[in-house]
Amino acid sequence: MAFLESCDTFVVLPPLTKMGVVFGKNSDRPNGEVQEVVYYPSSDDNGPVMCTYIEVEGAPSKAIILSKPGWMWGAEMGANECGVAIGNEAIWTIDNDGDHDPSIKRLLGMDLVRLGLERGSTALEALDVITSLLEKYGQGGPCSNTDSGFCYHNSFLIADPSTAWILETSGKHWVAEEIKSGYRNISNVLTITTKFDKHSDGLFEYAKSKGLWNGEGDFDFANIFGADKGCSSRLEAGKKLLEKFTGSNNFKETDMFCILRDTESEICRPADSSCATQGAQVSTLTNDKPSAHWFTATPDPSKSVFKPFVFTPNVSISKHTKCPEDEKTSPHTLYSLHSAAMKSKGNEVQDLLLNMEATCVRELDDVLSNTGSDLSELDELLKDCVETEVKFYR
């Protein structure tokens, strides 16, 4: 099982934010892997679903938007029409035999992200979807199409406009903690110790049977199952950034942009890194107005622009963030043009893009604050932003 530091996921809740719940995630993936942003409408199809490696039973699916490696079925992060956002992290455990062997092809953590978004109308429902499928099918399989040894277990941050859940796993076993206020972040290390609100059936008995816990004292999930104590530096750096940016008690999507762009902590990693930040997502999840979801669809948030998406009945997104159907490992148009522009134009491009982003933030906030039930003017919001960026590069 490869040990590789990658990814960070964040959430900020009232009273530290006045705009609902703010979710953010950087997706750090192997160098050269392309991440696409794709939209899937809702469906009543109950037929079997073929995930990356295995098939699971079908269920009606909600409309979703995903940021995902082009080659796999699952997603690193995304959101659904109900205002649920989910991101996952690679974590390392000591229990890796038999049903818990992460090298065996089962459900990827990224498959579980997508399944949770397709089937969960709240954070709690999505949590229940993920844990029930995890217990039935297990998790595992290569998480890279070029490195068969890149295998791991997963943790998840699941948020909606009212609450957030942290889900951490070891094989088919898991614990979950509800976050009702303040802030929280996860990285590549187990963080749930003795305080959790839900857990898998038979967890305590299983730990005793494996000789991992003697049954005395508090049950500490992270200490019992955690394998690597050396992946905590970015977790601590993320906490400090959250503390810094929530000091005003008015945390906004632009503050999350700043956190995801932090290069000193390596929360943001350059495109030429062995494990680069291939995409980023920020979501503002609200009950009193439509939720807004922002995606880069390009590597390195510090050199990318966040572009907004809002679910509407007739939404449409650009073809330029989708990898070619006949070659899902090839870059999409926006990825190629952005990469070329960063090499040739550098800071000149970045300044113009950031001005475009700032204008978009102001205009969208105004629209969402004054919109009624008719969201038709937002049908092509992400499409227009992407195609403006494409025209700019060309």
> In angstroms, rounded to a whole number, what is the distance separating the alpha carbons of residues 27 and 9?
9
Residue 109 · residue 131 · CB < 8 Å: no
Residue 334 · residue 390 · CB < 8 Å: yes
> In angstroms, rounded to a whole number, what is the distance separating the alpha carbons of residues 1 and 373?
50
Please give the backbone phi and psi of residue 224, each rounded to the nearest 5 degrees, phi first: -75, -40
Residue 321 · residue 279 · CB < 8 Å: no
Q: What residues act catalytically? A: 7
* Residue in 367, 260, 359, 363 with CA at minimum distance from that of residue 312: 367
* Residue in 82, 73, 90 with CA at minimum distance from that of residue 25: 90
Q: Cα–chain-centroid distance for residue 387? A: 24
Residue 210 · residue 250 · CB < 8 Å: no
Residue 60, burial from CB neighbour count under 10 angstroms (0-12, 13-18, 19+) = exposed
Give Dmax (Cα) for the chain.
Answer: 65
Q: Between 347-370 and 381-393, two packed helices, what is the crossing angle to 10 degrees?
A: 160
According to DSSP, residue 217 is labeled: S
Cα-Cα-Cα-Cα torsion 275, 89, 256, 245, nearest 10 degrees, comes to -100
